[in-house]
């Protein structure tokens, strides 16, 4: 079968033939029908995270179960499923506390899975390696969704939408009437904009370095769009009666944009960091500023969500029309076009590129 492979930091991506292992006990084989190109995948190729290589990229996908191993009870052959890159064990200290997104056994950057055509051991991004025609994964790494949900939208539920919407609803706890600032308008940021608008936030201020993101932001539900520059804090205050935003959702993962979010948030407001940054990109805030501003700064891992429960809820929202994900998909591509999608993402262009596989 074909898969998108990274062989190291800075090296060209390529579609290659690979061999998956047989479907074992407690595992399922899924034929991928749609897979998103996520910034976390880019982090595996540009040195932000350095996993073992060669590596099958991809972790945001949906498909159809084609085979189940012994003992599988979670899903059946023929069901439509969304892949879950952080399946909870339900037994560790965090899971027992109801914080499954921090599960001790979930979220490894890469796990061994199959081989390349010449027999070299292969690894799968976040245990999935979903930019491929098929995957073999543990049964709890898939979540059944209604067949009526289009695959390209179902795929986004597994990462971009869950992460962005969860950051707004679960981590930040945005309520009707709150003012919300979202910095960074990739798939996750646009999902956060949608979630803030669904929650009744007003205004919803969307920010990006690219003016071309304006129409995407407005289509997602933003009331205002700002180009990120040194005047951002002043511009946000002008839209919030001089105070600053109640909530800032940072979806870039850089110290500079976290500081920008902090400065644009009102006294007593909340900054939620969603973007995954580099370990050597250090954030500096003065002790006096932390005290006098009374702001809070926190991270949101996978939207502080339990995907087993929340992905089906989001799927139902797609079907009843209360959640329109179509504006998130800016490019529908083939697997062979995925390397260019990574280049486009690194330039900050578009929203989400989704690989659509043939029937």
**Three-point CA angle 177, 179, 180, nearest 5°:** 125
The per-residue pLDDT for range 170-181, each reduced to its tens digit, is 999 999 999 999
pLDDT of residue 166: 97
Q: Is residue 311 part of a domain?
A: no
**Number of domains comprising the chain:** 2
Look at residue 253 and tell me if it is in a domain.
yes
Average pLDDT value for the chain: 95
pLDDT in tens, 114-137: 999 999 999 999 999 999 999 999
Q: What is the CATH number of the domain that holds 219?
A: 3.40.50.720
103 and 51 assigned to the same domain = yes
pLDDT tier at 349, thresholds 50, 70, 90: confident
C-alpha angle 237/238/242, rounded to 5°?
A: 50
Tokens 């996908």 belong to residue = 61
Q: In terms of domains, do 249 and 332 share one?
A: no
pLDDT of 359 strictly over 80:
no
- Domain containing residue 349: 2-144+325-356
Of the given ranges (38-47, 139-148, 212-221, 260-269), which has the lowest mean pLDDT? 38-47
Rounded to an integer, what distance in angstroms lies between the CA atom of residue 33 and that of residue 67? 15
Residue 106 sits in the same domain as residue 190: no
The span from the CA of 81 to the CA of 61, in Å, is 9
- pLDDT higher than threshold 90 for residue 334: yes
112 and 246 housed in the same domain: no
Same domain as 13, residue 136: yes
d(C-alpha 108, C-alpha 139), whole Å: 17
* 38: in domain: yes
Q: Is 107's pLDDT higher than 80? A: no
Is residue 167 domain-resident?
yes
Token couple for 284: 């500096």
The pLDDT score that the predictor gives to residue 73 is 93
Q: Do residues 168 and 192 lie in contact, with contact meaning Cβ atoms separated by under 8 Å?
A: yes
My answer on whether 214 and 285 are in the same domain is: yes
Q: For residue 114, tell me if it sits in a domain.
A: yes
Q: Are residues 129 and 178 both part of a single domain? A: no
List CB contacts of 309: < 8 A, sequence separation 6 or more.
Answer: none
Residues 167 and 140 in one domain: no
- Binned at pLDDT 50, 70 and 90, residue 108 comes out as confident
Average pLDDT rounded to a whole number, residues 2-21: 95
Residue at 85 is within a domain: yes
Residue 339's CB: how many other CB atoms inside 10 A? 18
Q: How many CB atoms lie within 10 A of CB 107?
A: 15
306-323 per-position pLDDT tens digit = 999 999 999 999 999 999
Q: Where are the alpha helices (DSSP H) in the chain?
A: 39-43, 93-96, 151-157, 160-166, 187-198, 214-220, 232-238, 255-263, 287-293, 307-320, 338-346
Same-domain pairing of 171 and 234: yes
pLDDT per residue over 29-82, tens digit each?
999 999 999 989 999 998 888 899 999 999 999 999 999 999 999 999 999 999
pLDDT at 218 over 80: yes
Distance CA 72, CA 51 (A): 29
Question: Are 58 and 112 in a shared domain?
Answer: yes
Q: How many other CB atoms are found less than 10 A from the CB of residue 286?
A: 9
The reported pLDDT for the residue numbered 358 is: 82
- d(CA 153, CA 343) in angstroms, rounded, equals 22
Answer yes or no: are the C-beta atoms of 315 and 149 closer than 8 Å. Answer: yes
Look at residue 115 and tell me if it is in a domain.
yes
Q: Is residue 340 part of a domain?
A: yes
Place of tokens 């976390």: 40
Q: Are residues 44 and 84 in the same domain?
A: yes
Q: What is the pLDDT of residue 109?
A: 87
């Amino acid at each position: 079968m074909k898969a998108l492979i990274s062989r190291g930091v800075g090296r060209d991506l390529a579609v290659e033939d690979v061999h998956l292992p047989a479907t074992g006990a407690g595992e399922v084989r899924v034929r991928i029908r749609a897979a998103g190109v996520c910034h976390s995948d880019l982090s595996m190729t540009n040195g932000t995270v350095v996993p073992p290589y060669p590596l099958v990229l991809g972790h945001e996908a949906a498909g159809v179960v084609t085979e189940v191993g012994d003992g599988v009870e979670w899903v059946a052959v023929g069901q439509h499923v969304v892949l879950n890159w952080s399946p909870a064990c339900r037994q560790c200290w965090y899971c027992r506390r109801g914080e499954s997104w921090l599960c001790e056994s979930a979220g490894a950057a890469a796990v061994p899975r199959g081989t390349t055509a010449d027999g070299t051991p292969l690894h799968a991004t976040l245990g999935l390696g979903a930019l491929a025609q098929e995957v073999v994964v543990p049964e709890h790494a898939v979540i059944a969704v209604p067949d009526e949900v289009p695959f390209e939208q179902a795929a986004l539920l597994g990462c971009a939408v869950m992460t962005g919407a969860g950051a707004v609803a679960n981590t930040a706890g945005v309520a009707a009437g709150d003012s919300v600032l979202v910095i960074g308008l990739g798939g996750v940021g646009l999902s956060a904009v949608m979630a803030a608008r669904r929650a009744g936030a007003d205004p919803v201020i969307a920010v990006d370095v690219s003016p071309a993101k304006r129409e995407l932001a407005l289509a997602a539900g933003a009331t205002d769009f700002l180009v990120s520059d040194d005047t951002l804090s002043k511009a946000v205050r002008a839209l919030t009666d001089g105070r600053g935003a109640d909530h800032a959702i940072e979806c870039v993962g850089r110290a500079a944009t976290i500081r920008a979010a902090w400065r644009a948030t009102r006294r007593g407001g909340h900054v939620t960091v969603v973007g995954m940054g580099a370990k050597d990109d250090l954030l500096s805030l003065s002790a006096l500023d932390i005290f006098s501003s009374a702001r809070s700064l926190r991270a949101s891992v996978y939207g502080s969500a339990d995907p087993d429960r929340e992905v089906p809820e989001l799927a139902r929202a797609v079907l009843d029309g209360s959640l329109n994900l179509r504006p998130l998909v800016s490019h529908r591509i083939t697997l062979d076009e995925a390397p260019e999608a990574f280049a486009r993402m690194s330039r900050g262009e578009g929203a989400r590129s989704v690989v659509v596989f043939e029937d």
